[in-house]
Structure 1
């Protein structure tokens, strides 16, 4: 089974478990709606790519780790789109959860996906208890505060923003989780993999800032121009378009070089390079 198929199967399994037989029907429906269509699944793909590069000796736990990471990511999108944050109407080309199901169900769906991510790891802990605990630790650290996506969202409420810290928390956190969880699930030390995740995460955020400024809503599959509308700190406002493009290319040039030595280093470098090529928006100078 290839990487995309493994990821989708694991996510499907987690959602079905979360829905159970007695969940409120509309909440159960909202859970599946929140994770489909799946988008690029970049974070779980990266997690699984690192695991494969490091040996992937317990595939069932790898699949669960990748799915748990994506469930947290999807939960963050549900919450980000709500009126108290971005107040977005469209996500991945369809109405956002709070538009399709209501604000209360959006909040509950996002919360449920977060819990579901951690529960799925706990349910597979019997496969390798120490590894599972490390996976839960990493995912918890990169979800909450002060190092995770909650902290990243919190930066948007500050008058003075450290753009690098903001990007590292809001977007970089789950990319760091992806690379570190990929290593940990294969029984490797997570620490050396932080730099790769941080670089890819920052590059992804700069690319997202560029796309938000340069692309239309139809191209993005979500509202465009949100950084300006919401007075959100971003690379384009700080560096300009050309400066942001140069920053993006600089980050990406160091990402592949930061891959720790591992049996599948060459294949992983190819995967990272392929993902990096997709980040640069078409409508940019240079």
Structure 2
């Protein structure tokens, strides 16, 4: 293991701990200004869906992309990362529902609708999605109103009908009519890639970077998003449920098309290496400062869980 990869692992762990602590505080029983009550069962379900470990890769990308510019309060990047993680966790809670992907296991523990019930799981997801925008808008997020507005708009576009939610709709449709290669690429860019792309661009927005730098981080995020989903599809084929902490092989069982199914494992492994190299090229203008993000792309391409 190289010194850069060791540093990456240390930063991944420390940033995850920071985000976990932030989320735990935001999801405490204490009321915020304007709130009336926090129902105990709903709060427990929300905490079950959000405080269950995980690598916190998306907030990590926000924090490290912001740090690339050496600007912007670090606490604000953590808060924006926590907001993004709320959107991601909401999507998992809802995706696991019987009407969607119907999963019983997530990160090695019962999914929210199994641990509680379906109605509570729906409300838990609603709560997390709403909380994401609360976090960005709150005065504790020390950013200008212009930057907050840019973040809210970008996150809404990444999470909505033209992004993650639309991607989930395409994913459900794919169970009945398997898409071709172009359709799979579009579906995955929306369902998985949009939030990862936002994570990287959000770091540049937090740092108030110029349009050129913001564009590079956006393209880097798109590349990492492609690699993440391709690696996920490969793991769905090759890993076991215990390693993944969730059911595997379900896409194949449902007849959903993936690039791995279309082109094979060897192609997927070569393509993952190409995507990691493409990500590194995009970061070249930032020099040594981008070392952690370069290592992140390699980690995503080579991940085993």
Q: Same fold (TM over 0.5)?
A: yes
Q: CA deviation at 1:96?
A: 0.4
Alignment of 1:128-147 (within 5 A): 128-146=144-162
Contact 1:176–1:196 at 8 Å: present in 2 too?
yes
2:134 aligned with 1:119, yes or no? yes
Contact 1:192–1:260 at 8 Å: present in 2 too?
no
Aligned to 2:40: 25
Contact 1:56–1:62 at 8 Å: present in 2 too?
no
Q: CA deviation at 1:232?
A: 2.2
1:105-128: CA deviations, max 9, x gaps?
111101110000011111136631
1:20-75: CA deviations, max 9, x gaps?
67222110001111112220111100110000011232223212111001110111
Aligned to 1:40: 55
Aligned to 2:292: 270
1:219-274: CA deviations, max 9, x gaps?
11000111112322312211111121122221111011112734xx4243334324
How does the TM-score come out when normalised to structure 2?
0.85
Alignment of 1:255-266 (within 5 A): 255-259=279-283, 261-262=285-286, 265-266=287-288
Structure 1, unaligned runs of 5 or more: none
Contact 1:34–1:78 at 8 Å: present in 2 too?
yes
2:238 aligned with 1:214, yes or no? yes
How does the TM-score come out when normalised to structure 1?
0.90
Structure 2, unaligned runs of 5 or more: 1-10
- In 2, the alpha carbon distance for the partners of 1:198 and 1:19 equals 37
Q: CA deviation at 1:206?
A: 0.4
Q: CA deviation at 1:282?
A: 5.8
Q: How many residues align?
A: 280
CA shift in 2, pair 1:22/1:266, >3 Å: same
Question: Which secondary structure state, in structure 2, belongs to the residue aligned with residue 259 of structure 1?
Answer: helix
2:91 aligned with 1:79, yes or no? no
Contact 2:200–2:220 at 8 Å: present in 1 too?
yes
Question: Which secondary structure state, in structure 1, belongs to the residue aligned with residue 285 of structure 2?
Answer: coil
